[in-house]
Amino acid sequence: MQGRATISDVAAAAGVSVATVSKAVNGRYGVGSETAARVLRIASELGYASSLGASSMRSSRTGVVGVFIAAFEPFSSEVLKGIGVALGDSGNDVLAYSSLTGNEHDGWERRSLSRLGGTLDGAILVAPTVVDLPGTIPLVAIDPHTGPAGLATVDSDGYGGARLAMERLIGLGHRRIGFVSGRHDLRSALLREAGYRSALEEAGIPFDADLVRAGNYELKLSREAANQLLDLPVRPTAIFAANDLSALAVVQVAQSRGLAVPRDLSVVGFDDVPEAARADPPLTTVRQPMQQLGNEAVAMLTALMGQQELRRPHVTLATRLVERHTTAAPAPRRG
């Protein structure tokens, strides 16, 4: 049982050639059923399973689909859950890969695809920002950069979602609403920002560039953005953030400055990651169906892997506002 058995170990133990073992293990024709049975038994006894790396070098199908993510953060994790259940019965294994390493200009998605592409039957990219990907295997992107029309994509309605958030805030009576923006290399982030502006415009509230600050979906930057916004001579009464991470950062900063949320400042996020519900106070946010994003991506990928044409190569899912406890009417004017 020491050190993984190889195909030759099995062959030797069974007294046959490696070719025969390979055929038996893969259920190919051309092996006596008796021989096959014996080989299988021995393989099982030895705990043999073919090396993914080696076998993928010779044959095309491997039965594993890859998911490439930048990191195991809440958003990707939810997507992964959706992918996992959707793939549950397909007989495919799931391999999620996060490459923190060498994040230079290459882009992790390129590098990862290069390293693993040959090994996979298909892949899903979560929030890729790189445009031209090697076109070896079926690919679908979730929440992508504005990429080539050729790439199948799934995302959710960031524009509409942002409007939902803003309309609520405006309906509550807010007129001075800050915005912490997201990663500008992601279409979804841009759309959320567009929704912010359009809602303002529709309500007849003039756009004020001072009220939008870069958060880039990063904790540090979002905190800075929040501080800048709250340092403004005339403080915003509400802040809409491009994702929950940023929104949570805003809440935290506000609280650390002695401001009560939502009494002194309303905050709305975007995503509805699990962390949003457990925050204190629980975050009002725009929910995007993250697990369903995964489901849809799997459906498309499955079609692609089955050589099918996609009816709809771009799917957009609806978002909705989840009101929790970080929104309220603005406090009566205090100067």
Partner DNA sequence: CTGTTAGCGCTTTCAC
Partner DNA sequence: GTGAAAGCGCTAACAG
Angle 126-96-49 (CA atoms, 0-180°, nearest 5)? 150
Work out what residue 311 binds among DNA, a copy of itself, none; the CB cut-off runs from 5 to 8 Å by kind: none
Q: How far is the CB of 333 from a copy of itself (least distance, A)?
A: 36
| Contact string (CB under 8 A) for a copy of itself, positions 239-278, x = contact | -----------------------------------xx-xx
Q: How far is the CB of 136 from a copy of itself (least distance, A)?
A: 5
Instruction: Please report whether residue 77 would count as binding a copy of itself according to CB under 8 A.
Output: yes
One-letter identity of residue 26: N
> Who's near 260: CB < 8 A, 6+ residues apart?
none
Q: How far is the CB of 251 from DNA (least distance, A)?
A: 47
- DSSP 3-state of 45: helix
> Who's near 146: CB < 8 A, 6+ residues apart?
187
Angle 281-286-292 (CA atoms, 0-180°, nearest 5)? 120
One-letter identity of residue 249: A
Site stretch for DNA (CB under 7 A), options 52-60, 134-142, 168-176, 250-258: 52-60
Specify the residue for token string 């457990």.
278
Q: How far is the CB of 47 from a copy of itself (least distance, A)?
A: 6
| C-alpha to C-alpha distance for 142 and 156, rounded to whole angstroms | 9
Site stretch for a copy of itself (CB under 8 A), options 30-38, 97-105, 143-151, 167-175: 97-105
Specify the residue for token string 């929030």.
127
* Residues of span 189-248 touching a copy of itself by CB under 8 A: none
How many residues sit close enough to a copy of itself to count as binding (CB under 8 A)?
59
> What single-letter DSSP state applies at residue 166?
H
- DSSP 3-state of 270: strand
Name which of 87 and 268 has its Cβ closer to a copy of itself: 87
Specify the residue for token string 């459906």.
299
Name the residues that contact a copy of itself, by CB under 8 A.
1-5, 44, 47-54, 56-57, 63, 71-74, 77, 80-81, 83-85, 87-88, 91-101, 106, 110-119, 132, 134-136, 274-275, 277-278
